[in-house]
Amino acid sequence: MSSQETHEKKNYVVTSVSVVADDKDSQIESPYSEESQSKGFFQAFLDGFKPLDIGEIDPNLTDVERANLISARASLKRGLKNRHLQMIAIGGSIGTGLFVGAGSALAKGGPAALIIAWVLTGSMMYCTVQALGELSVLFPVAGSFTQFNTRFISPAWGFCMAWNYALGWLITLPLELVSASITIDYWNSEINSAAWVTIFYVVIVGINVFGVRGYGEAEFIFSALKVLAVVGYIILGIVINCGGGPKGGYIGGRFWSDPGAFSHGFKGVCSVFVTSAFSFGGTELVGLAAAETENPRKSLPTATKQVFWRITLFYIISLTLIGVNVPYNDPRLLGNSGAAASPFVLSIQNAGIKGLPSVMNAVIMIAVCSVANSSVYAASRTIAALSNQGFAPKLLGYIDREGRPLGGIAVSLTVGLLCYLSAYKNHSQVFDWMLSISGLSSIISWGSINACHLRFRRALSVQGRTTDEVPFTAQTGIYGSIFGVLLNCLILAAQFWVALFPAGKPASAESFFKVYLCVPVLIVFYFGWMLYKKNYTFFIKYSNIDLDTGRRVLDVEALKQEIAEEKAFIASKPFYYRVYKFWC
């Protein structure tokens, strides 16, 4: 194909998208509009499930151009407001990884390992979310960063990463529903867990019937409660450490010397990284929500900056208090499940405070429901993006007039029925193997996001363009993305070592694959797609990377002027205001 033809095809793609991106009339018309209401509420409700028409697609486009165009046209409803996105950014990923998983991490690595692992992983996550924010503000397309892999790296890698991310969230739903039922056992263990699983499952289904609006409101409430709980514990943890509990004396840093700061030495530190990564899972949902945000250029940059405060205030401070208030050799950390193994609950119990352990258990249950709700949201959008890119059956890409990816929601909720395996006596074995398929999926996805950002910046340079046309640039720049790629690779290497030679346990094939099964599965996906499509492209050439399709704003000159005016306005303000805008 000649360069002339390639240029014409790219122009066609940009022109096609500009209609979708800029024409307000092309936005999804809600069946609950005034006109639709004249038909009656029930008819309007039914109309909302009719398919969304994305128009005709030029058959001459390449696979990558076709994927970019469909992702841009498959408009999800922009129902997330700024307050939703901010709260999702602040408290969206606070869940069982922090409230419960920190207990096993403390036992495996010790209090110093907690701080080291969470600081390094948190720093990497901040760089990752900044890189994701830059790409998502520029290309707020359906599927967001899962589609970036196809655009900036290769179709084979896009297929591999999208299914990696989808499988991670598909398996999360049944796991979290079972976890929710386990939290109830803290109060009442006599009722069959299947009954509680059913209740939680119905609640999740009900939330997702309302689409992104239901997800946004539910997450706003869930996140607000989790944030209040963590802030409350930070205050309480300081009081407990100073001896303010009914049974407590002054603790200080006693547990850092007896039993010590580290458990199992360097291998113990490496063992903690997978838990810290799990606790940050869901942070990237800010980028996934870009296509359903009213004004991503305004709200996404602020949301990505909030990640710094969440990491610093909610994770580092609370985990520091956990490390000084609970000794790592407490047998309850590994001998129990659910709230009974939560170091938050144990520290309150050790201080002799009545009633508050039940409050923390309720918070843990809310956190579990929040993660389950997010899993349906993330999995359904990713599956829709898979279908749009031709990586899954066309039916799974069904998006209705209310912007709900019904095909993806149906798949997610169907897989969620595996939660009833909790009634099976060996269900823990089943769930362990399910988790192994996606255990490292978040780490691999984060590394890929940073790689996409690096390739995007390089493509800009090769094509003679600059970041002046980018609405939001990552504060950490390309060096943050380089750090993100390197640290994710180091975490994967550390996990490989720990999987081969687990701390305090004999080496076995079973223990290895329970930790590392995700990697061979992804290798099969990657090369399987190459062989099936007979497309052996490992990397798209920088000169051929599409930098236009899917932009919500295509008037580059107007955008540059707007950005310049905003910078001039901030520069004219006092120092404290400039500092505030930089961090918030």
Residues 6+ apart with CB under 8 A from 408: 379, 380, 381, 382, 383, 384, 387, 396, 397
- The residue behind tokens 């599409």 is 546
Half-sphere exposure of residue 42: CA atoms within 13 angstroms, side-chain side: 0
Note whether 388 and 71 are within 8 A (CB).
yes
The reported pLDDT for the residue numbered 359 is 86
Describe the crossing of helices 318-325 and 111-138 by its angle, rounded to 10 degrees. 170
Closest CA to 328 of 263, 276, 274: 263
Q: Express each pLDDT in 29-56 by its tens digit.
A: 444 444 444 555 555 555 555 555 555 6
Note whether 30 and 401 are within 8 A (CB).
yes
Burial class of residue 12, CB neighbours in 10 A (0-12, 13-18, 19+): middle
Q: Where are the beta strands (DSSP E) in 184-259?
A: none
> At 297, is the secondary structure helix, strand, or coil?
helix
- pLDDT band with cut points at 50, 70 and 90 for residue 297: confident
- What is the value of pTM for the model shown? 0.82
- pLDDT band with cut points at 50, 70 and 90 for residue 501: confident
- Give the chain's end-to-end CA distance (angstroms, integer): 47
Q: How far apart are CA 92 and CA 90, in angstroms?
A: 6
Note whether 241 and 256 are within 8 A (CB).
no
- 431-437 own/partner pairs: CB under 8 Å, 24+ apart: 431/174, 431/175, 431/178, 432/514, 433/514, 433/517, 434/171, 434/174, 434/175, 435/171, 435/175, 435/514, 436/513, 436/514, 436/515, 436/516, 436/517, 436/518, 437/167, 437/171, 437/517, 437/518, 437/521
The reported pLDDT for the residue numbered 58 is 63
The pair of three-digit structure tokens given for residue 119, joined into one six-digit string: 């600081």
Residue type, 559: L
Domain residues of the chain, as ranges? 79-553, 556-583
Q: Among the residues of 400-517, which ranges form H helices?
A: 406-416, 427-438, 441-462, 477-500, 509-516
Question: What sign for the dihedral angle of Cα 351, 354, 359, 362?
Answer: positive
Mean pLDDT, the chain, whole residue set: 78
- pLDDT band with cut points at 50, 70 and 90 for residue 264: confident
Q: How far apart are CA 368 and CA 362, in angstroms?
A: 10
The reported pLDDT for the residue numbered 575 is 85
Q: Express each pLDDT in 89-148 by its tens digit.
A: 666 667 777 887 888 889 888 999 999 999 998 889 889 988 988 888 888 766 567 788
Note whether 137 and 297 are within 8 A (CB).
yes
Half-sphere exposure of residue 221: CA atoms within 13 angstroms, side-chain side: 9
Q: Is the pLDDT of residue 584 over 80?
A: no
Q: How far apart are CA 154 and CA 145, in angstroms?
A: 13
The CATH fold of domain 79-553: Amino acid/polyamine transporter I (1.20.1740)
The neighbour count for residue 249, using CB atoms within 10 Å, is 10
- pLDDT band with cut points at 50, 70 and 90 for residue 23: very low
Q: Express each pLDDT in 409-461 by its tens digit.
A: 899 999 989 888 777 666 667 777 777 777 688 889 999 999 999 999 999 99
Q: Is the pLDDT of residue 552 over 70?
A: no
The neighbour count for residue 155, using CB atoms within 10 Å, is 23
More confident residue, 313 or 492: 492
